[in-house]
Structure 1
C-alpha cells in the first residue's frame, strides 16, 4: 500500500485507535506502572499473583487490553475472567480484589494518563479539547470491560480532578512497592526495555517520582527528548500498520 494512503487511513481513525496500540505507548508504560505499584492492593496483587517477570506480565496484560480496545467483537467477559482469581490480603492487612471498581478503574486511569503523556512526548501537544475527545473515546473503551463504571468521571475535566486527588491522597509506598520498584524503572524485556533509564525517570508522574524518592534531573529530561526525537525519526520510515503492537493489527479497519 502507498505510504500516503496508509497515513490517510490512520488519520481517519479515532484518537484512541491511532495511539493506544502504537509502540510508543508501550515505551511510556513505566509511568503507569510506577503509579500502580503505589496502590497497596495493586502492588500486593503484582507480588502475589505475577510469576515470570513484571514486564512479561505487562506485555500479556497490555496486549490483551489493546486487543479488546481495537476489536469489534463482544469481549466483555475476558477482563472479568482474567481477574477473578486476583485477590488476597495486602501488606497492610487489608483485603483486596482486582475487580473492585475503584481499584480497577484507577489502574485504567493510569493508562489514560500515560496515553496522553505518550502522545505529547512522541507526537504533538494536545489541547484541552483534544484531551476531552480522547477521554470520551477512552470511556467507550472502558465499557468493553464489563466492570462497574461507578468510579469513572464523566468528563475530562472531572477526570483530571479525580486523578490529581487520587495521586495526592491515596498513593503510598509499601513493602511490596520496594520489591517492584527496580524492575519497574529498569525493564529487561518487551518494548520498554528499549527506553534508557534516564528517559524513564523523566517520564514519571511527579507524585510517583516524589514517593519513590527519584530526583528527576535536567539530564534525564534531555535524555527523554533525545529518545523521543530518535524514535520519531525511526517511526517515520515505518509503515503505519507496523508502528502498532501486534495486538492492535488484527482489526481489518486498522
Structure 2
C-alpha cells in the first residue's frame, strides 16, 4: 500500500474529522488510556523505549505525549516537525537484543493503533457505542488524523474491518511480557497522576484489552465490570453539568490556527 501524505495545504486547515473532534479531546477518552498504555508496554521495543527514555514517571510522560497528540489532531498547523524532533533520539536495544527506533513506521503505527482502539472503547463505555456505519466513518477519520504525522502508512489498513484484523493479529503475534513490561506494570494498573488517576483500579482492570489482561496476569471479574459501569455513569453525570468546552482536556481547547 502506497504511503498517504496529506499535503501541507490540507494540513493547514481543519480536516473533516467530526467524530474525532467530538471524542478524542474528551476527558472520558483520557480516562480510558490505561487500555492503550497496557498494550504499549507489552510491545518489547515500545516497553524498552519507555524504560530507557522516560524520566519522571510513565503517566507524567503520557500526559505530555497524549496532550501533544490531541493538540496536533485539533490543530490546523503543520506540526510534523514536532513529531520527528520529539522521537528522533528515541532508539536503542530492547530486552530481546533487537534494535528499535520510535519512528519506525511499524512501531509508530502500532502506538497509534492502541489509541484508535482505545478511542472506540471509550465511545462504547461512555457513549453507548457506534453503529456499523459510524464505526467506518470514525475509522476513516482516524486515518486522516494519522496522516497529520506524515509517517509512512504502509501498515495502516484502509477499512475498519481491516483494522480489527490487523490489530488482533498484531496483539497475538507481537506482544510479550518482558522485564521492561514487568517494571511498568504497577504504574499502568495504578496511575498516580493525570486523568487516569481518577479511575478506580477495578474499573481500570475492566478496561484492559483481553490480550493485555492475559499477559499481565490480570483476572477481570464481574465486580470489576460493575465498577467500570458505575464510574462511567458518574463521569457522564459530571459531563452533563459542564459546558462542552470544559469537558475537553486543555490541549483540545486551543484555537486551531494557533
Question: Is the contact between residue 80 and residue 99 of structure 1 (CA under 8 Å) also seen in structure 2?
Answer: yes
Q: Is 1:230–2:238 an aligned residue pair? A: no
Q: Matched residue of 1:43: which SS? A: helix
Contact 1:80 1:146 in 2 (8 A): no
Q: Which residue of 2 aligns with 1:20?
A: 24
Does the CA-based 8 Å contact 2:74-2:256 persist in structure 1?
no
Secondary structure of 2:144's match? helix
Kept in 1, the 8 Å contact 2:77–2:256? The answer is no
- In the alignment, which residue of structure 1 is the partner of 2:132? 128
Deviates more, 1:88-97 or 1:121-130: 121-130
Q: Match for residue 113 of structure 1?
A: 117
Displacement of 1:195 = 0.1
Q: What corresponds to 2:10 in structure 1? A: none
Q: State the distance in 2 between where 1:15 and 1:129 align.
A: 12
Q: What's the CA shift for 1:146? A: 1.2
Q: Name the SS for the 1:214 alignment partner.
A: coil
Distance in 1 (CA, whole Å) between partners of 2:92 and 2:157 is 27
Aligned equivalent of 1:99, options 92, 99, 103 = 103
1:252 Cα deviation from its structure 2 partner: 5.8
CA contact (8 A) 2:17 2:144 kept: no
In the alignment, structure 2 segments of 5+ residues that lack a partner are 1-15
Q: Deviations over 1:55-106 (max 9, x none)?
A: 0000000000000000011111111110000000001100000000000000
RMSD between superposed Cα atoms in Å? 1.2
Residue equivalent to 1:153: 157
The whole-number CA distance in structure 2 between the counterparts of 1:158 and 1:52 is 37
- Residue segments in structure 1 that go unaligned for 5+ positions in a row: 1-11
Counterpart contact for 2:75–2:256, Cα < 8 Å: no
